[in-house]
Amino acid sequence: MNVKEIKRVYFVGIGGIGMSAVARFFLAQGAVVSGYDRTETVLTKKLVEEGMSVHYTDDVNLLDKETTLVVYTPAIPKDHTELNWYRDNNFPVYKRSDVLQWITETLHAITVAGTHGKTTVSTMIAYLLRETGYGCHAFLGGISVNYQSNYWSSTNDTAVIEADEYDRSFLKLFPDVAVLTAIDADHLDIYGTVEEIEKAFIQYTKNIKPGGTLLVKHGLHRSSELTATNKLTYSLTNTAADIYSEHMMQRHGGYTFDVVGKGWTVRHLHINIGGLHNVENAVAAVAVTQLLGIDGEKVREALENFRGIKRRFEYIIKSDRMVFIDDYAHHPEELSALIRSAKHLFPDRKCVVAFQPHLFSRTRDFADGFAESLDMADEVLLLDIYPARELPMEGVTAKMITDRMKNAAHSIVSKEGLLEYVKNNPLDMFITSGAGDIDKLVEPIKAILEAK
């Protein structure tokens, strides 16, 4: 399908982070864009401000019945009235992954996949390409703080795409450069077993175009089965990798470091975002710029001003008196990296973490891991599970996690109780984390902390 000929597009689930990037692409192309989502959010309000029409009731009377393309997300339930009306009336209905394939198949595609880190790495790459003047189209799974968007366009033919493993969507992409950040157990509700997840990522690397390059984190399980014409490994500091960092120093809540590759070095880099994992993410992003032949000095200047991604180790408050960090972490590995990094940067502060588990199935599958991760904090406040697309499961509650925790300084609280805690307790480092709606509490918490 020629996407440039599409004049009207309707999105079922327009408020999803990946869906909204594609919606913004079509709006930029001059198409009329409208859609449905379950709830109004900061993102859907922004889409309306940009010129899209969005409603929040599953009602066929509200549909654009002249649309030329209907796009939906796999998270939409099968009994969705609007989606089924479009199907029953023979409208062209496609998944977001299909449409993203059409958009990017004629471009020089740089894709970033992995169970953790893909949003940060893809945003870093896209930001560096834009800021150095190289340029790119960007389809991201997070909101760039620098540009307040998850999509931008360019006059050149390069695209940076966050490749989502959910529902195996990323297997429809055929990259010229593929980055792989992690392969861990996740989305077991979709894949069933860890082996099936691993098979999907192996297939992702097989989709790399002939002559293309795979940039993969050093030491991943089954890495010998990951194939490409050119294969490079990267690491935080392991010199056995093809690309790694050295001379790393902590500075002002961020890090300075060099990135060393085979035959090249980019020196005196600095990132102003916390977390050693973000230094490793920067190693991958800088490596991609060198594959493209971008001048290292331009990369250094650009990276200095990278402000991160919304809800990825995002400093809401950062002062001598108080540090408040918000993060999307919703998997034990992500949660561990978040807490470890915060305690590394601010070792003399009491680390209090408010965590909202995401999905009943994920809580069931990873309760032990969540407990182990949260035990790293000094105190934990646990919200009820955010169900998202799932129905409740018998016996699966937040208590599954607290029952497994060794640290006795924990409690299960309501959202109102969380705000009361913040109001009534002395805090010098506070972290909110989760992929549900805990982000709606960020501004109220910020207001309480600033008023103290």
Residue 403 C-alpha from the chain's centroid:
29
Residue 233 assigned as binding residue: no
Are 16 and 38 spatial neighbours (Cβ–Cβ below 8 Å)? no
Q: Which tokens go with 140?
A: 């991201």
CA angle 40, 21, 301 (to 5 degrees): 120
Return the closest-CA partner of residue 362 out of 196, 187, 195.
187
* Distance, first Cα to last Cα, the chain: 57
Tell me how far apart the alpha carbons of residues 371 and 350 are, in angstroms, rounded to a whole number.
18
Are 206 and 178 spatial neighbours (Cβ–Cβ below 8 Å)? no
Tell me how far apart the alpha carbons of residues 315 and 338 are, in angstroms, rounded to a whole number.
12
Judged by DSSP in three states, 245 sits in strand
Residue 120 assigned as binding residue: yes
Are 56 and 26 spatial neighbours (Cβ–Cβ below 8 Å)? no
Q: Which tokens go with 402?
A: 């607290």
Residue 213 assigned as binding residue: no
Residue 395 assigned as binding residue: no
Q: Which tokens go with 295?
A: 């001048």
| Phi and psi angles of residue 395, each rounded to the nearest 5 degrees, phi first | 80, -5
Are 10 and 69 spatial neighbours (Cβ–Cβ below 8 Å)? yes
Residue 229 assigned as binding residue: no
**Annotation: binding site for ATP:** 114-120
**Annotated binding residues:** 114-120
